Amino acid sequence: MNNLKSTITTTPPHTPEPLPDFKAPVFKDGALVLYFHPYNFYSQKVLLMLYEKNLEFTPYALDLSNGEQYSSWFLNINPKGDVPVLQDGPFIIPDSRHIMNYVEDKFRSDKHQAFKSYNFTAKEYEKLQRFDKLLAQVPVGALSLGSFIHEDLKLAPKPPFIGPVRKACIKNNEKVYELLKKSIEEAEVNKAALLRKLEIQDQRRRVVYSRVEFHKILDNVYNVLYTIETDLKENPDREWLITDKLTLTDIAFGLLLHRLYQLGFENYYWGYGKLPHVESFFLRFRKRESYQKLVPTNFEILKDMWQKTPSNYKIGAGAGVLGMAMFAAFAHK
């Protein structure tokens, strides 16, 4: 990979105002509710699966940059203060991996596409496990934030993540970091989970502001892509990673490619014939109806999801579409 020149500027710490008093939303009994953010990578994985299964659900988009994930009502749902979280009546399921397994196990019928197969061969199952492990090792949040910090990468980011928005992402990430520290100071219970999250955030900050450490992330991503490229090349007649049917592994890989594409890494990694089978996979993935619903043009996804979120429960509802704090979502897990 190309060497990176250091063009890093740091943002001075920002001391936020006290955490806003967000009110807990109320939904009808038995509703399937997804607490999420449309530009959060892990939320996107769950969203795309719900679309693939044609499930009716109520989306609730959290205002990440103003600290709604650290409000008392949300910490009662998920003490880690992370999105996404799925609520199915009385059941609360945090973490995208657990959510996707829950949804797959509960909604298996002719009406809902199945992503797990009980007919995998030993070789297919081994490959699925290996690819899942590879993809889980990619630090998507650090990759995203670092791409904004290291401007010398000569990327081709896609709207709206261009120009001043990239600087706003860095600024809002600092704000969210300070909000996390503030929430720890005010926390009366579940402080351990937030302290662990602060530790992870501290590690991420050290990595993304270091040219050497961020370069290691870029090399790790390339190794993942090259491994999958080699497998796809050896199986040119297979449509997806494991079989001809889409799996949860395909969703994870397709959305990783989508994130790289939005950040402007496509020419850095697979363009100009570098990884042609990976590129072909992404082109197939982008044609799926679920992908089109997840990533429509311009700000349609933000507008649609924000309008569907019960606005009377949100302090910042009057701020409009950008009030969703899209800027913080890229680097926030």
Question: Mean of the pLDDT values across residues 307-326?
Answer: 41
Quote the pLDDT of residue 76. Answer: 93
Percentage with pLDDT > 70 across the chain: 83
Best CA proximity match to 201, nearest among 156, 141, 258 = 141
Span 249-259, average pLDDT: 97
Q: Which amino acid is at 276?
A: P
Neighbours of 177 (CB within 10 A): 21
pLDDT top residue among 28 and 58: 58
Q: Which residue has better confidence, 229 or 175?
A: 229
Rounded alpha-carbon distances, angstroms, from residue 329 to 79, 91, 176, 243, 324: 18, 25, 10, 32, 9
Q: What is the pLDDT of residue 166?
A: 83
Q: Looking at per-residue confidence, does 183 or 299 come out higher?
A: 183
Q: Give me the residue spans of the domains in the chain.
A: 32-329
Element (H, E) at 207: helix 191-208
Distances (CA, A) of 91 to 86, 102, 103, 147, 229: 8, 10, 12, 37, 39
DSSP label of 112: B
What is the per-residue pLDDT across 278-308, written as a single tens digit (0 to 9) for each? Answer: 999 999 999 999 999 987 654 454 454 445 4
| pLDDT given for residue 30 in this prediction | 86
The mean per-residue pLDDT over the stretch 27-32 comes to 89
Q: Are 7 and 150 in contact (CB under 8 A)?
A: yes
Q: What is the dihedral of CA 114, 116, 118, 122, to 10 degrees?
A: 150
Average pLDDT, the chain: 85
Confidence band (pLDDT; 50, 70, 90) for 235? very high
Check residues 173 and 218 and name the one with the higher pLDDT: 218
Confidence of residue 1 (pLDDT cuts 50, 70, 90): low
3-state secondary structure of 84: coil
pLDDT at 133 > cutoff 90: yes
Q: What is the pLDDT of residue 264?
A: 96
pLDDT of residue 309: 47
Residue 329: per-residue pLDDT: 38
Which residues are CB-contacts of 89 (< 8 A; sequence separation ≥ 6)?
29, 30, 31
Question: What is residue 28's predicted lDDT score, i.e. its pLDDT?
Answer: 86
Mean pLDDT of all residues in 162-184: 87
Q: Report pTM.
A: 0.84
Of 33-42, 245-254, 310-319, the poorest mean pLDDT is in 310-319
Residues 217-226 pLDDT 10s? 999 999 999 9
- With bands split at pLDDT 50, 70 and 90, how would you rate the model's confidence at 17? low
pLDDT at 164: 81
What the block records as the tokens of 42 is 């892990």
CATH class of the domain whose range is 32-329: mainly alpha
| 324 and 302 Cβ atoms separated by less than 8 Å | yes
301, HSE (Cβ side, Cα atoms, 13 Å): 21
pLDDT for position 167: 83
Tens of pLDDT along 72-128? 999 999 999 999 999 999 999 999 999 999 999 999 877 888 898 778 999 999 999
